[in-house]
Chain A
Amino acid sequence: MATEQTARPDLRLAPEAGEVLFDIKDLEVYFPIRQGFFKSMVSSEQKFVRAVDHITLQIMKGEILALVGESGCGKTTTGRTLLRLEDATGGDILYKGKPVNKFSSKQLREYRKKAQIIFQDPYNSINPKQTIFDIVAEPLEVNNICSSEREKEERVITAISEAGLRPATEYLYRYPHELSGGQRQRVCIAGATVLDPDVIVADEPVASLDVSIRNDILKLMVEEKEKLGVTYIFITHDLSLAWVISDRIAVMYLGRIVEIGDTEEVVANPMHPYTKALISVIPVPDPLARREHVILKGETPNPVDIPTGCRFHPRCPEAIDACKETDPEDVHIRGDHYAACLRINN
């Protein structure tokens, strides 16, 4: 989206703000729907799940960008496509100016050292039969990075203690089942940071964790961003968590970014009706502050048959007739805040 988006003027969090790490242009990820033999004979029309439907976005070095939306909005697919775990069907992802979707397998190997992912569930994403040392050392071994065992050990220990498991030596030869959920997620983070990556896609990293542990992991992400200069793409359905740690928020709906901007600006001054609704339903730990909830009816429509015009109009509380026909363009609000809604101009 935001075609003529400029470097963010806010230098508050990233001293290098302005250095573009990812330049995503008109990205499209469609998944073809497999049809049975009979159906494919009857109708020649191939249908697609339009998971990511033309998004344009720049990700700056050293920022935490939150991709927020309900399930099925395409936030995870966007994250996976950035790492080329999915192939884009259209558009470009430029990583430091080079097109990720045209990487050769050799380039891809190099790229994967610099781009890592943390998955949601720390119970299933690490091998229960490996020790913590083996889990964290595996990326180093696969990529033949260390010249000696000693160097490998040092790097593993650094990564583990940076991930907050201290003293690291005490954890090295334990197995995942000996650790709690939060500690396992720290192991996943250590495995992601051991290669010294530029960017980490964190896909709902705290969704399965207890509150107190959740906050520790969020704090760790902010620390690593500040200390190691890692760029985080924080994928979450919980806008309040995005608000706590991210520099910018991109709100996605049905494969499209409907609003993007500086976190505090978006939360304090949401322009898109979808963002407004999402913010209004966040539960607040204060029973006296009863406020109006904008509860949208139904669920996100099927990404195979995306509504005409503005894709949000069937659920939008503010929709007008024009919304049924015109697909809204991004409207510049202020600074780096953009929203795609027809009603903003009026």
Chain B
Amino acid sequence: MNSPRSQAVERGAAESPLSKSATKAKPASGKKSVERIDHEGLLDVRGLTTYFKLGVGDVRAVQDVSFVLKPGESLGLAGESGCGKTTAALSLLKLLPENGRIVSGDVLFDGKNLAKRTEYGMSKIRWKEISIIFQGAMNALNPVQETGKQIAEPIQLHEGLSEKQAMVRVRELYDLVGINPKRVMDFPHQLSGGMRQRAMIAMSLACNPKLVIGDEPTTALDVMVQAQILELIHRLRRELDLSFILISHDLSVMAETCDKGVVMYAGEVVESGTTADIFNNATHPYTTQLIKSFPNIHEKREMVRSIKGDPPNLINPPEGCYFCPRCDERVPECLTDHPTLTEVEPGHFVRCLLAKSMSSDAVAPDDEPTPEPVEV
């Protein structure tokens, strides 16, 4: 149980490449003696609930979302637009808009509870420990500043380097993500879409974070550029031993890049497990229908299915299962009983009344971290 934690600590110490910041960091941590919270993995999200305040009431954008990410793992958060996947990710970093707030739940990251941190405390975490690749590289970069300088900014801020020193690091980062380092002084409009996305990735790696969140990192890109970017992320994860959270509406992208997956619907987790659990043994009717919405070019050609109906209103969500009105397998109880997450296999959770809980013998030792059934 202790190993991932100590691993993470070791990594943290070994990884800071700049002696300056390392010496700075040590006495600071000694002085404050922040209490470490014991938790599983690198990131342990427990019952995260986020509401948005609107005039008509609270929008329950994220409700009771839990997952564990171990060091070096990649996890996909998938679902249709409006399911709360981006809100969940922004809650991790407390980057919510003004009317959003974390109502309850814990975000335990490397021994700290981010949900309880102050804005100042979060500013030490953002970019240095957890960074994010935003969705539209077009819009996320400042059009009137050189791309390299924008990447240098977090380095100057977090590592206390001068601009000149930071630019050396930016050139290394450019090389790492496959852009010619000569182009550091290019403005965003001089780069192609794929290069801009690479620059965004370089920016996310600027301060050697432990965890990178990719919010639809390939959505607006061509298939071939998408493949290039996904391969780059895969290579970087291996080389830098990064943990990665991929937010995507595209289940096929999640299937190809992630070890674990979380499928969200109407703000809730409806199914979670390894990607093999989710794709090859999908149990929730929503997951099965969603998988069928994506064409699989290697199988028999058929018209892709769509899921009829719309997701529920999250200001006044219905009493029973949120998916019930769109579900083909519903039973009368679905209208009244709200299902809870059931563990159908070790590590494979489903929120459905029809899901069969694991047989009693498998439930006994709960301490053991769940083994990966399939090596992906």
Contact = CB atoms under 8 A, between A and B. Distances in A.
Contacts of A154: none
A211 B290 contact: yes
Contact of A282 (B225, B297, B374): B297
Interface stretch (A111-119, A240-248, A334-342): A240-248
B290 A241 contact: no
B313 to A, nearest CB: 14
A243 B295 contact: yes
Contacts of B81: 210
A282 B218 CA distance: 13
B280 interface: yes
A244 B301 contact: yes
Max count, chain B CB within 10 A of own CB: residue among A218, A239, A240: A240
Nearest to A238: B223
Interface of A: 70-71, 210-216, 218-219, 222, 237-241, 243-245, 263-264, 267, 277-279, 281-289, 293, 295-296, 299
A330 B297 CA distance: 25
B144 interface: no
Nearest to B300: A264
B280 A288 contact: yes
Contact of A70 (B224, B251, B307): B224
Interface stretch (B8-16, B84-92, B167-175, B226-234): B226-234
Contact of B297 (A212, A222, A279): A279
B72 to A, nearest CB: 17
A337 to B, nearest CB: 16
Interface stretch (B103-111, B126-134, B252-260, B341-349): B252-260
11 contacts: A70-B222, A70-B223, A215-B304, A283-B226, A283-B230, A284-B255, A287-B275, A288-B376, A295-B228, A296-B224, A299-B225
Nearest to A240: B295
Contact of B224 (A210, A267, A277): A277
Contacts of B295: 240-241, 243-244
A178 to B, nearest CB: 14
B222 A244 contact: no
B306 A284 contact: no
B255 to A, nearest CB: 5
B215 interface: no
Nearest to A68: B223
A218 B305 CA distance: 10
Contacts of A237: 222-223
Contacts of B290: 211-212
Contact of B296 (A70, A215, A285): A285
Nearest to B193: A71
Contacts of B297: 239-240, 243, 267, 279, 282, 284
A245 B295 CA distance: 11
Given A215-B305, A277-B224, 18 more contacts: A210-B80, A211-B249, A211-B250, A212-B307, A215-B304, A243-B295, A244-B295, A245-B303, A263-B301, A264-B301, A283-B256, A285-B279, A287-B256, A287-B258, A287-B275, A287-B374, A293-B231, A296-B224
Contact of B293 (A212, A222, A267, A278): A212
A22 B232 CA distance: 42
B227 A293 contact: yes
Contacts of A295: 224, 227-228, 231
B374 A288 contact: yes
A192 to B, nearest CB: 21
Nearest to A293: B227
B227 A281 contact: yes
A278 B294 contact: no
Pairs A-B, 8 closest by C-beta atoms:
A283-B252, A281-B227, A215-B306, A287-B275, A240-B295, A285-B252, A215-B304, A287-B255
B298 interface: yes
A287 B78 CA distance: 15
B224 A216 contact: no
B350 interface: no
A69 B359 CA distance: 51
Interface string B198-217: 00000000000000000000
Max count, chain A CB within 10 A of own CB: residue among B224, B228, B297, B301: B224
